[in-house]
Amino acid sequence: MSDWPAITTEEVSWHLRDEDAYLIPKSRRRKITPTYRAAIPAEIRHARPDISAELAERLADARTRLARFDEHQSSLAFNLPSLLLRSESAASSQIENLTSSARNIALAELSSTAPSNALVIAGNIDAMRCALHLEDDLTIDGIRQIHRQLLKKASLDFAGELRNEQVWIGGTPYSPHGALFVPPVPGRIDACLGDLCIFAETEDIDPLAKAALTHAQFETIHPFIDGNGRTGRTLLHRMLRSDGVLLHATVPISAGLLHDIDDYMSALSSYQQGDPTPIIEQVCGAIDLALVVGQKTSRAIADLVEDWATRMRERSGSRIFELPALLVEQPVVNSNYVASGLGVTRRAATSIISRACEYGILKPLGNAQRGDFYQASELIAVLDEISSMAGIRRLAAGV
């Protein structure tokens, strides 16, 4: 057991309004007392985890494999990080019980006509990109920017705003009484996030362990009304990027966490009770699986792109040969997107799309109401496999 500081709690007043009381069943109402207990997250800016020699070796090995994967991805002719970012966002959203097909998620990046869940998950992709491009040190404003991007497509008025009300996890929707976890009161959030940002910039902790601890502390603070889990998982990637562990690639860490959600949630609970080892182990194990997913996906996409190239019969130098790399970044396209991506006229883009349909690379999306959209079905099939719980478990079974 580590000497990592555990949360404490404080007693907080709770007032049940008369107009709300009659909506609550009597059996529940009797359990709602005038006070409840909320967490006080420990200050961690000076805390350091006690990492065993065995775990330190695992972390060092994971860093080495991440560096090799990162170097290999930087040399590819297509943008695999963009594709894996979609897998990460879909898996992170599944942890929150938000699901959609890879096709609809890709459509949501171009059109507001996509299903609502797809729009929400596409917001997760925007949040990931924001997190990866944050400059300088982690700040409260930077965290708010990530959250704003996460919920932008959902048009929620609290996007990017620190909460000014009590939230809780589990229990009932009526009150925090009986909840599994009650995060700190709103008045403590600024100080807690400030402490977290200082900890995030320390340099004497293994970067993978620091990423895991930053994530766990963020989830303990729970600074937003909604979207805390997804925002917190983007911080894992921001930490790996800012600490130089991954300079080019992303890996679907949430896919690894999705493999066993119960253990992940249990590890967060252990962290809050003063034992950081389980969450560090969970993130390390998630990275192991994420690398398997990333490597298998890289090979599958490389084979698919090569197969597409053999189907094309245009003369050398034709712009259609640039289309596969564009599709890896965005597997649902329209003529405007292709024109912009390839630097051609819309008429030329329409011609390229038509030829790609003849080669079986693209096909119409299938819903005329959604307009001029086309999907790379073979690519989307790969994405669906690495973004679903069933697909992730099949990959894990093959490790």
Q: Are residues 238 and 370 in the same domain?
A: no
Please enumerate, by residue number, every residue annotated as part of a binding site for ATP. 226-233
Do 49 and 275 contact (CB within 8 A), yes or no? Answer: no
Averaged pLDDT for residues 90-99: 83
Q: Are residues 106 and 203 in the same domain?
A: yes
Number of domain units in the chain: 2
* C-alpha distances in Å from residue 80, one per residue of 77, 250, 297, 307, 324: 9, 8, 8, 17, 12
The rounded percent of the chain whose pLDDT value lies above 70 is: 94
* Residue 2 belongs to some domain of the structure: no
Q: Are residues 174 and 219 in the same domain?
A: yes
pLDDT at 371 over 70: no
Show which residues are catalytic. 222
Q: Are residues 276 and 331 in the same domain?
A: no
pLDDT recorded at residue 249: 82
Please enumerate, by residue number, every residue annotated as part of a binding site. 226-233
Q: Which two tokens stand for residue 269?
A: 């609970």
* Residue 300 belongs to some domain of the structure: no
Averaged pLDDT for residues 355-373: 82
In tens, the pLDDT along 16-46 reads 776 666 677 777 777 788 999 999 999 999 9
Averaged pLDDT for residues 138-167: 93
pLDDT at 197 over 60: yes
The upper half-sphere exposure of residue 360, i.e. CA atoms within 13 Å in the direction of its Cβ, equals 8
Q: Are residues 286 and 327 in the same domain?
A: no
Any idea which of 89-93, 220-224, 309-313, 386-390 has the lowest mean pLDDT?
Answer: 386-390
Averaged pLDDT for residues 140-151: 96
Averaged pLDDT for residues 306-321: 92
pLDDT recorded at residue 76: 78
Do 252 and 386 contact (CB within 8 A), yes or no? Answer: yes
Q: What is the CATH number of the domain that holds 341?
A: 1.10.10.10
Domain boundary among 266, 294, 322: 294
Note the pTM of the prediction, 2 decimals: 0.90
Q: Determine the residue type at 315.
A: R
pLDDT recorded at residue 189: 98
* Residue 304 belongs to some domain of the structure: no
pLDDT recorded at residue 112: 86
Which residues span the domain enclosing 345? 312-390
Q: Are residues 58 and 94 in the same domain?
A: yes
Q: Are residues 204 and 106 in the same domain?
A: yes
pLDDT recorded at residue 395: 64
Q: Are residues 122 and 189 in the same domain?
A: yes
Q: Which residue has the higher pLDDT, 311 or 15?
A: 311
